[in-house]
Structure 1
Amino acid sequence: MTMSDRPTIALVGPGAIGTTVAAALHEAGRRPTICGRSAHERLTLEFDGGQIVVPGPVLTDPHGIRDKFDLVFVAVKSTQTASAAPWLSALCDARTVVCVLQNGVEQIDLFKPFASSGVVLPSVVWFPAQRESASSVWLRAAPRLTLPDVPAARVVASALRGTRCSVEVVDDFVSVAWRKLLQNAVAGLMVLTGRRAGMFSRSDITTLSLAYLRECLDVARAEGAKLGDDVPQQIVDGFHRSPPDLGTSILADREANRPLEWDCRNGVVQRRGRSHGIATPISDLLVPLLAAASDGPG
């Protein structure tokens, strides 16, 4: 049996995204080793029509790991990347595929220093899941991952085959990743207003969002993304169709007074824009405000 037939799986970071993936694997009879900062005897995924209870324990000491794994899902936020380093050292060797379930377009650059000589596989996560308690997550839509068309993607696709979390493999991953980043970037406006998706129904917020998204689109295209002129309107229309109470992970972090993923979701547009000589006047206003909301002082 080859690694892609039935890989050994570990998961680091059983938050909203990590719990969803762990539950999908457990439901299909593929129990992953779960690692995190806090010990839990079980994790619970709630969704319309039912729940999945994933038995623990959640391991908290990387020094207690004795085995290396074929596949490691890393679902920590970008602000917690360095904290995952001891886990990656314990779980990975040269054959390990490290699939990063994290926002942004810089996942390989962020994790390559910590992943030994294993393969770092970026992903795009397409599902709204929110933490309800320390060990409970509410999933609001069917989970889906997008991966680049590289050999390591077959390991992830095999691990998740037949689960409720679908996997799509695409040739033009850069375009998909940047499109998701545009969606995440404009969602950052929720932090600055303290409001949820219903705020996008305001005409002035729609106008601001479209202007910001067009700025982000210019940077995305300079980075090689092939995205049409209609993408900003598509993203705003998606917010218009969303439940008014739909939040986003960066808003949840602000409400809990946690550090924000402002750099990987918004700062990257400003940074990459400057590297290409592209003016980013809206980013130049939004990024310092998001950074201050995250890091203070005050």
Structure 2
Amino acid sequence: MIRIAVIGAGAIGGTLAAWLAQRDAHAITLCVRSPLDELVVETPAGTIRAAPRVLTDPARAEPVDWVLAATKTYDCAAAAAWLPGLIGPETRLAVIQNGVEHLSRFPQVPGARTVPVIIDLPAERTAPGRIVQRREGSILVPDSDAGAAFAALFAGTIIDAQTTPDWLTAAWRKLAINCSGIVSAITRRPAEVANDAGVAEVMRTLVRECIAVGRAEGATLPDSLADKIVVWTTRAHPQSVNSLHADFVAGRPMELEARNGVIVRLGARHGIDAPMNRALAAPLGAAAAAA
């Protein structure tokens, strides 16, 4: 039996916990702030349900084989409060978050036992424990023993988990997609907003800045990525809402630093300006603070 603790029951954490619980070989513990009766996820393959063990007190946590940190990046301190109880001498930690700085977020766990995870899983939480998963989803992890072991957890599910020899490039490619999503939060419109020609050009500019900084960091990113991301967005479910948009509308904190601010910050390290990412993140952050 593989013991898995999932920290966070939002759209990503809840969906992953529900799918992992479909396998008899897994014993799932959900680490959350508020208790849940069950997880119900509407997926492309039909509705799945799970009733994992639920903990709300870190003092009750016990060592497991895997910890999946699936909180927002600004909640890392709260997630870290669970680690002393969950982490044993062989426990591995999977950091399933946005951005490109996964390995620096939980220094409590040795790097050799930490797996940075890129996830593409369009899902929205409609109520506590209730989630809509819009398509099958995919996961990319480094090509290592720990990465392969993590990917194997999802065998038999509709989530395609794979290893990649160039995780850095994959991470920056995902960041390029995420940084462009700020236009949905600002306009309060779902993916269909990319069909507006002016908005599409703003998205391209955001992505081009990300490409420049990513290349300076060592990623291999083609110029064509900017156009491709606009096309991908127009082909997404027209009502698909990214997490930045959903958080802004709901009045929750946003991952502006992990999705746009990091491009500005790391760009400055290399002498690369990212004015569009800076210009859009500043007023959105101010609007959120006022709300």
Query: By the TM > 0.5 criterion, same fold?
Result: yes
Any conservation in 2 of the 1:124–1:147 contact (CA below 8 Å)? yes
SS across alignment from 1:160: coil
- State the shift of 1:287 in Å: 2.3
1:176 aligns with 2:170: yes
SS across alignment from 1:123: strand
Any conservation in 1 of the 2:95–2:114 contact (CA below 8 Å)? yes
| Deviation string, structure 1 residues 126-147 (Cα, Å, up to 9, x no partner) | 1101001111000001022100
Unmatched runs of 5 consecutive residues or more in structure 2 = none
Instruction: State the one-letter code of the partner of 1:257.
Output: G
- State the shift of 1:226 in Å: 0.3
The partner residue of 1:108 within 103, 122, 134 is 103
Distance in 2, matches of 1:110 and 1:204, equals 36
- State the shift of 1:100 in Å: 1.0
Instruction: State the one-letter code of the partner of 1:122.
Output: P
Distance in 2, matches of 1:252 and 1:28, equals 30
Residue matched to 1:214? 208
The partner residue of 2:137 within 135, 140, 143 is 143
1:36 aligns with 2:32: yes
The partner residue of 1:274 within 253, 260, 268 is 268
1:55 aligns with 2:51: yes
SS across alignment from 1:31: strand
1:1-298 paired onto structure 2 within 5 Å: 7-29=2-24, 30-65=26-61, 67-112=62-107, 114-115=108-109, 119-294=113-288, 296-297=289-290
Distance in 1, matches of 2:38 and 2:7, equals 15
| Deviation string, structure 1 residues 177-224 (Cα, Å, up to 9, x no partner) | 000001000101111111111111111111111122111110111111
Distance in 2, matches of 1:163 and 1:281, equals 41
Distance in 2, matches of 1:242 and 1:287, equals 23
- State the shift of 1:89 in Å: 1.4
Unmatched runs of 5 consecutive residues or more in structure 1 = 1-5
Instruction: State the one-letter code of the partner of 1:209.
Output: M
- Over the matched positions of the two proteins, sequence identity in percent amounts to 34
| Deviation string, structure 1 residues 230-278 (Cα, Å, up to 9, x no partner) | 1111101001112221110111111110000000000000001100001
Distance in 2, matches of 1:170 and 1:100, equals 16
Instruction: State the one-letter code of the partner of 1:220.
Output: G
Distance 1:202 1:73, change over 3 A: same
Distance in 1, matches of 2:76 and 2:243, equals 16
Count residues in correspondence. 290
Any conservation in 2 of the 1:42–1:57 contact (CA below 8 Å)? no
Q: TM-score, normalised by structure 1?
A: 0.93
Distance in 1, matches of 2:222 and 2:23, equals 38
Distance in 1, matches of 2:219 and 2:204, equals 18
Residue matched to 1:3? none
Runs of 4+ in 1 over 6 A off after TM superposition: none
Q: TM-score, normalised by structure 2?
A: 0.95
Distance in 2, matches of 1:117 and 1:78, equals 18
Any conservation in 1 of the 2:21–2:52 contact (CA below 8 Å)? no
